[in-house]
A and B are shown apart, each in its own frame.
Chain A
């Protein structure tokens, strides 16, 4: 489903990703853990073309997004359609403040996927139901709590039917109580066999939900495997013990 090979990325000669490779298969939930600055968010941003890689190859659902040895990034329109196979949920939600909750969910369906208004609205309503926010459809993001905003953001990403859903520390901006609601939604998505990549600091959650955990340090994936294997690893235990 997703193949990334030898990704490198530096900011001003500071190596943030060093030869990172990963594959994610259909229905798999991958959790990426590691210290702040280990490169895990940058990795996720590169996979979603929010940052450009310096070298490497990214392939989504058999289509080449970028191959620096072979022509670089795909042409703009192709690139956009490849990126649409991925959904992305930000740490700080980034909902559109000037749109109602409903319009946050329908806008891209209509202007990007060219769905009709009726189709977009019914999809949006179904998703709001799913994240438990049907009653908020006509409110504005500023009227919602952080946890509600993040659930809207998840619904907004799902509205475009991505093949892979990426989460960049989805609960880091939330207090523990609100975190619970968001994690419940992500857990349900995992149960429904959605393919997901989750960058997270919630170790218990990673252990519970992930099929595979990757531990990153200094821009490299140091160890990966099932949660049992990874959390037994010496380096990871030092990390989780703080």
Chain B
């Protein structure tokens, strides 16, 4: 026991972890803020009737889901600057790579949700004179949200833990802080404390998704 029986040391660790948590949270929030709407754009392209729009997004999603996220982070941080002669700071590079990666997953979730809405809903909107954008915004999308809540919550929770990957390009966030403390002290305790941070964060997110699920439970179908 190096931390659990030493309040002073523990307090210092908690302060360091809290700083790391700030970085983790900004990465998490920025990624969600960008990838949730971006995924919808991908999904709309992916479902387009025009093959020229559909194909590139299909290929892009295949690559995003088919290669390791860490490799994508490396590519954006190390390779893109060499090709385009501009460099990103670590946070920007990570937010870009995480956002497009998660947008790819969200796009497929959205697509599954849209395709699960019965064709009759579109037809009903059509015979009532609604335009396609009206039908999508008023009839289809609100019903999609209820259907995709569960798979989206899965991705969101995974994202919280995936943020730990960015240690690989030397970013200091929650996990890195804990690992540094662990190597310095020769104890695994900081890693378990960090684990508790992730757990609490995800418990809160789970509660939010449960609440949203209850809110949307006012109708069936």
Q: Which residues of A contact B (CB under 8 A)?
A: 48-50, 80-81, 83-84, 86-88, 90, 92, 94-98, 107-108, 111-113, 140-142, 156-157, 160
Contact = CB atoms under 8 A, between A and B. Distances in A.
Given A50-B126, A142-B221, A98 B146 contact: yes
B68 interface: no
B207 interface: no
Contact of A87 (B127, B134, B138, B146): B127
B142 A112 contact: no
A152 to B, nearest CB: 12
B129 interface: yes
Contact of B130 (A88, A97, A111): A111
Given A97-B220, A97-B221, A92 B128 contact: no
B84 interface: no
Contacts of A80: 129, 131
Interface residues of B, number: 21
A50 B123 contact: yes
Given A49-B126, A50-B126, A112-B129, 17 more contacts: A50-B127, A81-B129, A83-B126, A84-B129, A90-B124, A94-B118, A94-B120, A94-B124, A95-B124, A98-B143, A98-B146, A98-B219, A111-B138, A140-B219, A156-B128, A157-B128, A160-B128
B116 to A, nearest CB: 13
12 contacts: A83-B127, A84-B129, A88-B127, A92-B120, A94-B118, A97-B219, A98-B143, A107-B128, A108-B129, A111-B130, A140-B220, A160-B129
A50 B126 CA distance: 8
A201 B143 CA distance: 33
Nearest to A88: B127
B139 A96 contact: yes
Interface in B206-221: 218-221
A87 to B, nearest CB: 7
B130 A90 contact: no
B121 interface: yes
Nearest to A49: B126
A96 B120 CA distance: 10
A92 B126 CA distance: 16
Contacts of B134: 111-112
A164 to B, nearest CB: 12
Interface string B49-89: 00000000000000000000000000000000000000000
Contacts of B121: 94, 96
B128 A90 contact: no
Nearest to B218: A140
Given A111-B134, A141-B219, A142-B219, A96 B126 contact: no
Contacts of A160: 128-129
The 3 A-B residue pairs with the shortest CB-CB distance in the complex, in nearest-first order? A97-B221, A108-B128, A94-B120
A84 B120 CA distance: 18
A108 B139 CA distance: 11
A23 B163 CA distance: 66
A226 to B, nearest CB: 29
The CB with the most chain B CB atoms within 10 A, among A49, A98, A141, is that of: A98
Contacts of B139: 96
B128 A112 contact: yes
Nearest to A76: B131
Interface in B91-148: 118, 120-121, 123-124, 126-131, 134, 138-139, 142-143, 146
A48 B127 contact: yes
A156 B139 CA distance: 15
A80 B132 CA distance: 11
A90 B122 CA distance: 12
